[in-house]
Amino acid sequence: MHLTSRLFTPLSEGLKTVQQESCHLEKCVHVFGGIYTVIQTKAKITVDEWGENYIMMGPYYEHNFKTQVEKCEPPNQAIKAAMDSLINNGCQVHFGRWLIEGSPYVILFDIGAAAWNLDRWKGDLWNACSIGLPYHDREANDSLIFGSLVAWFFKELTDQLQDKPNVIAHFHEWQAGTGLVLSRSRKIPLATVFTTHATLLGRYLCAGNADFYNNLDKFNIDQEAGERQIYHRYCLERAAVHCAHVFTTVSQITAVEANHMLHRQPDVVTPNGLNVRKFSAMHEFQNLHSMNKAKIQEFVRGHFYGHLDFNLEKTLFFFIAGRYEFSNKGADLFLESLSRLNYLLRVHKSDVTVVVFFIMPAKTNNFNVESLKGQAVRKQLWDTAQSVKEKFGKRLYESLLRGEIPDMSKILDRDDFTIMKRAIYATQRHSFPPVTTHNMLDDSTDPILSNIRRIGLFNGRNDRVKIVFHPEFLSSTSPLLPMDYEEFVRGCHLGVFPSYYEPWGYTPGECTVMGIPSVTTNLSGFGCFMEEHVSDPSEYGIYIVDRRFRSADESCSQLTQFMFSFCQQSRRQRIIQRNRTERLSDLLDWRYLGRFYMHARHLALSRSFPGKFKMDHLNLAPTQGFRYPRPASVPPSPSASLHSTPHHSDEEDDDTYDEEEEAERDRQNIKAPFTLGAEPEGKSKQPLENGN
């Protein structure tokens, strides 16, 4: 993410004195570029660990400082003195509390006010590591200004502290990595951690439709970066990776990528978590699903007016959401699978209809008139029905008061029938319901619309799969679909995210904590994580498409089969599966995953200050303790867990299923991933130290 694209990006993590057995953990500072969700959701658990010594750093933007930060004085005199030193030398530095959960302290540097130093700092960077930045790359220049201010601040801070306490600096992404490189080149006494959430070159190669994972060991890295005019950025990223005491990444699949792209194996894998909010009332998330599904049904009634010949009680809502990266996010595979799913549902004469939402922002100029008209027609029909209902109810009431059974053929007069007929005629339309809700600026070349034309899914009456492309993020203030993203997700039945390049993937994780099943792939960090920790992910509502060891056609067929099997489930089976999916949310809670970051910080201290901090090598796999077995109520054979035909009763019961018993058994499978101890003598040598 661009440093300049955020209001402010939190960048530093924690300052604190902590006693932990033989490890005297004292100060920690956390720096990153634009991994907003990770840092924002992790803030609370880190504040719980570090208290007021947890500090984040980022660029200053006036409007956002006024609306998201409570200005205050630094609680530590050393921090105040370091800030004053920069301010006295012409820089602008601001301090406050970021108004998010946990309320962490933030230090914000005004990049624009320090831009007059850019040429001098470019010279410093060249002298430090022989990396030059072109004048036209504003993002790289901003990262240099920010990194230089951070390194300057750390120099002043450590001079004030005099090694009491020590400081840990945790940098995220290449945009913040400049501060790490400069700090190490100036021999500032810091323990440093660098986290890459996706390699820079990996994103570019996948966006160019390269056969990335099958050719990881064949790419000429320098040449590929040079051809894409990002060689200087790549050098900054690689320098940060090799300068850090501890290098981490967010998933095993990205660890493999980083080893080839950046030539260093990550020391720790730090999976991304979420703040999981559990409801006090059991199954309240099921009630939320029902409530929000009703809102989506109202939208569908308006959008498909005149063609509403399918039963909404037997309609499933699928969706894909995220950045509009057509291939990286798997929209190409999804559309082809939807075409095949439509064929299967028609051939099997299924009474199930699937409405698929594409929530991906694209260039538009306004709402589609036909979409707005649909919602207006729906509203008019509702008003008409309410008017007739009131008349009907009043006449029925008066008839019963007189002790008469009303003549149903006379209780409504001719005017009432006329009003209803006019309302019915108003719903007639001579065109298909629109595929997109907005007027697209690049309609003829848009990848999603072009592929919809190719596969011929135009929301026809015979199509069992309907498509709604909403090229804008959701908002509760929208006149079309007035729902926030969280409400929308809770109202859907299945999220489909068949990504080709997804270092982690928050969208299926968000579905999981809300109790909504999802499709992911073994090329996403989330998919790899679930494969590792859940014996039978599909029974817990996590369908993992194999995109690494299969051809595109085989992956497409597998995704189609997942969706078709989901369509065959009864309502009761879907409820049971949502219960199981929601229970997996414990796996994604920062209360558990935050321990991996804790381990990275301890490791950095033991490598940077070996005389003071020691820790044991971990003999156990860092993920041991997480394991969800196959649910006890599921038959031994996976094929036996689904009915052979979609035509079965929703009221059927399964005597082998006990929600409370299964939930208690699953809760017992969540344990601490590891324990931290002291590193034996002679084991604290840091890798690549001589090459820094």
**pLDDT tens, residue by residue, 569-608:** 999 999 999 999 998 998 999 988 998 999 999 999 999 9
Nearest one of 554, 552, 551, 505 to 531, comparing CA atoms: 505
pLDDT, greater one: 486 or 535: 486
CA 285 to chain centroid, in Å, comes to: 20
Tell me the three state secondary structure of residue 213: helix
Q: What's the whole-number mean pLDDT along residues 25-36?
A: 51
Is 283-367+434-587 CATH 3.40.50.2000? yes
Give me the pLDDT at residue 386, please.
87
| pLDDT, tens digit, 9 for 90 and up, residues 111-123 | 999 999 999 999 9
Sequence-ordered list of residues with C-beta below 8 angstroms from that of 66, at least 6 positions apart, any chain = none
Nearest one of 34, 30, 169 to 102, comparing CA atoms: 30
CA distance linking residue 276 with residue 256, whole number of Å: 29
Q: Is the pLDDT confidence value at 681 over 70?
A: no
Q: What are the residue ranges spanned by the domains of the chain?
A: 21-269, 283-367+434-587, 369-431
Buried b (16+ CB within 10 A) or exposed e, 105-141: bbbbbbbeebeebbeebbebbeebbebebeeeeebbb
Strand ordering across the sheet containing 315-321? 465-470, 353-359, 315-321, 494-496, 518-521, 542-545
CA distance linking residue 195 with residue 172, whole number of Å: 5
The single-letter DSSP state of residue 218 is: T
CA distance linking residue 367 with residue 103, whole number of Å: 38
Give me the pLDDT at residue 548, please.
92
Give me the pLDDT at residue 30, please.
53
| pLDDT, tens digit, 9 for 90 and up, residues 159-172 | 998 877 889 999 99
Cβ contact 131:235 at 8 Å: yes
**Antiparallel, parallel or unpaired: β 518-521 and 364-367:** unpaired
**Antiparallel, parallel or unpaired: β 542-545 and 518-521:** parallel
Chain position carrying tokens 């879907």: 574
Give the CA diameter of the chain: 100
Q: Is the pLDDT confidence value at 337 over 80?
A: yes
For a pLDDT cut of 90, what percent of the chain falls above it?
A: 66
Give me the pLDDT at residue 97, please.
95
Cβ contact 501:374 at 8 Å: no
CA distance linking residue 43 with residue 63, whole number of Å: 22
Give me the pLDDT at residue 7, please.
23
| pLDDT, tens digit, 9 for 90 and up, residues 250-260 | 999 999 999 99
Tell me the three state secondary structure of residue 291: helix
* Helix, strand, coil % in the chain, rounded to nearest 5: 45, 15, 40
Give me the pLDDT at residue 289, please.
95
Asked if the domains 21-269 and 283-367+434-587 are classified in one and the same CATH topology, the answer is yes
What's the Rg (C-alpha) of the chain?
A: 29
Give me the pLDDT at residue 682, please.
38
For residue 294 the two structure tokens come to: 């009703």
Nearest one of 346, 341, 312, 640 to 498, comparing CA atoms: 341
Buried b (16+ CB within 10 A) or exposed e, 625-655: bbebeebebbeeeeeebeeeebeeeeeeeee
Q: Is the pLDDT confidence value at 656 over 70?
A: no
CATH superfamily of 21-269: Glycogen Phosphorylase B; (3.40.50.2000)
CA distance linking residue 577 with residue 539, whole number of Å: 7
Give me the pLDDT at residue 23, please.
32
Q: What's the whole-number mean pLDDT along residues 174-186?
A: 95
For residue 6 the two structure tokens come to: 């955020």
CA distance linking residue 613 with residue 615, whole number of Å: 7
Cβ contact 310:484 at 8 Å: no
Neighbours of 429 (CB within 10 A): 15
Give me the pLDDT at residue 424, please.
83
Among 382-391, 613-622, 660-669, which range has the highest average pLDDT? 382-391
Give me the pLDDT at residue 3, please.
32
Length of the chain equals 692
For residue 69 the two structure tokens come to: 């930060």
Rounded alpha-carbon distances, angstroms, from residue 143 to 34, 39, 109, 111: 11, 18, 12, 9
Q: What's the whole-number mean pLDDT along residues 485-499?
A: 97
The average confidence (pLDDT) of the chain is 85
pLDDT, greater one: 383 or 147: 147
Cβ contact 16:168 at 8 Å: no
**Amino acid, single-letter form, for residue 148:** S
Sequence-ordered list of residues with C-beta below 8 angstroms from that of 610, at least 6 positions apart, any chain = 684, 685, 686
Backbone torsion region of residue 131, taken as left when φ is above 0, otherwise alpha when ψ lies between -120 and 50, otherwise beta: beta
For residue 152 the two structure tokens come to: 């300057």
CA distance linking residue 586 with residue 565, whole number of Å: 26
Give me the pLDDT at residue 627, please.
65
Give me the pLDDT at residue 613, please.
85
Q: What's the whole-number mean pLDDT along residues 3-11?
A: 29
